Chain A
Amino acid sequence: MPPILWLIPGLPLFGFVALYLSAGRMPHRAAAAIGVGSIGLATLLAFAFAHWFLGASLPGDVYLETAWRWITIGGFDPAVAFRLDPLSLVMMLVVTFVGFLIHLYSAEFMAKDEGYGRFFAYMNLFVAAMLTLVLADNLLVLYAGWEGVGLASYLLIGFWYRDPANGAAARKAFILTRIGDTAFIIGLFLLFHELGTLDIATLMARAHETWATGSAVANAAAALLLAGALGKSAQLPLQTWLPDAMAGPTPVSALLHAATMVTAGVYLIARTHELFELAPAVELTVAVIGAATLLLAACSALNQHDIKRILAYSTMSQIGYMFLALGVGAWTAAIFHFMTHAFFKALLFLAAGAVMMRLNDEHDIFRMGGLWRRMPVAFVSFLIGASSLAALPLVTAGFYSKDMILWGVWSSGPAGPGLWATGFVGAFITALYSFRAVFVMFFGDARRTPSGRYGWCIVAPLAVLSALALTGGFVNIPSALGNVNSFSDLLAPVLPARQEVTTASTTQALVMAATSLLVLLGVYLAYLTYIQRAQVLRRIATSSPARALAGFWFGGWGFDTLYEHIFVRPFLALARLNRNDIVDACYGGLVVASRTLNRALSRTVTGRVRAYAAWVAVGSLAALAIALFLQ
């Protein structure tokens, strides 16, 4: 291959520049052609590179391409270099391909929006930044992409900027992720200070040579990187921005949840997993945070009315699964789940968007109902997406990746079964809330009549993503069901499997069967509640403790209120207190004092020579007196 790997993030970036400089004066067709075309070309190029890479068998399975040397200061000379290895290959393919489908969908979905060109400009920037992030050979370049993703998400969440609420949501996302970013950059300083490089491969090798497992510095560095990942991936305790980020257009949510942004944290931890292996305490924290987030978000998803908020909480929960996998060292499982999640979450968002656009932008699932006959395309896509999210056994992609995570967690050591139990319960709730959405939206009495119809730009991405959400999991099938390991074998050079705890494969099969049963039970419970409307369940659901709990979960476990009281209010109070700028008042006082003194001394300038002479005499006398007394 010619050295044109840089074109993969470069093409979307050119698209962004061209669209942004046109400042909205470009006709819609041209904007769509540039916006979708740049990602399309990048996708083709990514597949060409993948084809070449898989056939080439390079030494160490790494292809490096240095674009230029960024700066040279002392011993610090980071290069803007791109690195293609199996891990970044998978990420790159998913980001470009899913990103392309979402762009294609947006070409029709956003057709009536006045900010059409601006929309595609920001979307291109988003993808370009994410591709820089995943292809970076160097933590500094990765950080540049990381910040680019943050900026693009801010611009897109606040895309409809005329509504102040959208601006507030955008700021919330930006500020909360910024907390993590600050920890991340401090982590970079620490790593550079201790190990003298930011080049990822060298860094990991030196970390292993320099630090003992569990040493304080290794723990600190891993914890700082983890804080960065928590912010970007919306995990506890920095998770509250994600549900509000739904203020942006639906394709933005699809892109943000499936391909870019929230998976950046997962990628960062997988990329630096050797560092995390040196810090077992932090690694365990990753797993615990993942487990807590997945349960918490799943419970919240169970109570939402807004379809986009249901999906937002489900993303948080699924990323929690990925963190759980990362925390127990099942790196491959996390990346596998990232891939299948990208397929079905993009599908769910696009299908939800397709439903909403024909119901006059209706978000409330309880005002939909009975839609399956009227919009079969959206129904089938959403059903497939929800099945994959719920990990319906055997036929969906989500089943294989979630099973891989749960098995990885189960066999991970002493903490395994406890963590596995949360994932297990989470799987039940996931099935419940995904099918709650399906049943409420598409079955029951029809309440609204849809208008319009879909063009091929909407149908094609839905079809492709549906196919992937069903079959995407067949690249890795557990031994009990046929033992296909193409995905883990592909990633093995970068993410070696931990020493397998050799348990008989019957245990694995049993664990899998238990999960499958639980998922089916969840679906059945949703069926009983929302289709059969069983009286017992009604009565439980309307009892007062259940209502209180539901209200608590609806508000995301009160985290927003908590942060409001702990951080936002005191800060605002301080700001109000300092409205007149206390520090500035000091300088203001200096001005007032000198002006007063000036006015007082001006009075002595009378023009009378004799008065001056008297002052001179008095002053000399005073000086003499002082000299005498101080002798």
Chain B
Amino acid sequence: MASVSPSQALLLAMILFALGLAGVLARRNLVFLLMSIEIMLNAAGLAFVVAGSRWHQPDGQILFILVLTLAASEVAVGLALILRIHQRNASLDADAAAKLKG
């Protein structure tokens, strides 16, 4: 099984993170915003796994499980919020929710 060098894997993580960030900054649809955040979380998880395999430690994979749990709960809360916002504003535009500011 051909192994992937850590630097290549980290490059992939970086690209994924940048894509996610670009999505967060550029998209106005809340659902896409949430998905972009998921991509960023996965990029971070990938970086942990790569680091774990580089030093032959299980910590990286353990942390990935933690990130997964975090992502799941985040999606649960995020989707509930999106539903409420959609009911209120009749749109999924993130900027339309600017009235939530203090």
Contact = CB atoms under 8 A, between A and B. Distances in A.
Contacts of A613: 21, 24-25
A614 B33 CA distance: 13
B21 A608 contact: no
A613 B28 CA distance: 12
Interface of B: 21, 24-25, 28, 33, 94-95, 97-102
A610 B93 CA distance: 11
B101 A617 contact: no
A604 B95 CA distance: 14
Contact of B94 (A605, A608, A614, A617): A608
Nearest to B36: A613
B97 A610 contact: no
Interface of A: 605-610, 613-614, 617
A605 B95 contact: no
Cβ-closest 9 pairs across A and B: A607-B101, A607-B98, A613-B24, A609-B94, A608-B98, A608-B95, A605-B101, A614-B25, A607-B100
Contacts of B33: 609-610
16 contacts: A605-B101, A606-B98, A606-B101, A607-B97, A608-B94, A608-B95, A608-B98, A609-B33, A609-B94, A610-B25, A610-B28, A610-B95, A613-B21, A613-B24, A613-B25, A614-B25
Contacts of B102: 605
Nearest to B37: A613
A543 to B, nearest CB: 90
A609 B28 CA distance: 10
B5 to A, nearest CB: 23
Contacts of B99: 607
A614 B21 CA distance: 9
Contacts of A605: 101-102
B47 to A, nearest CB: 14
Tell which of A606, A607, A614 has the most Cβ of chain B within 10 Å. A607
B27 to A, nearest CB: 8
A609 B33 CA distance: 10
Nearest to B94: A609
A617 B97 contact: no
B78 to A, nearest CB: 11
Contacts of A609: 33, 94, 97
Contacts of B101: 605-607
Given A610-B25, A610-B95, A617-B25, 20 more contacts: A605-B102, A606-B98, A606-B101, A607-B97, A607-B98, A607-B99, A607-B100, A607-B101, A608-B94, A608-B98, A609-B33, A609-B94, A609-B97, A610-B24, A610-B28, A610-B33, A613-B24, A613-B25, A614-B25, A617-B21
Contacts of B21: 613, 617
Contacts of B100: 607
Contacts of A614: 25
Contacts of A610: 24-25, 28, 33, 94-95
B16 to A, nearest CB: 15
Contacts of A617: 21, 25
Contacts of A607: 97-101
Contacts of B95: 608, 610
Contacts of A608: 94-95, 98
A610 to B, nearest CB: 6
A605 B102 CA distance: 8
B49 to A, nearest CB: 21
A610 B27 CA distance: 9
Nearest to A613: B24
A607 B100 CA distance: 6
A613 B95 CA distance: 13
A605 B99 CA distance: 11
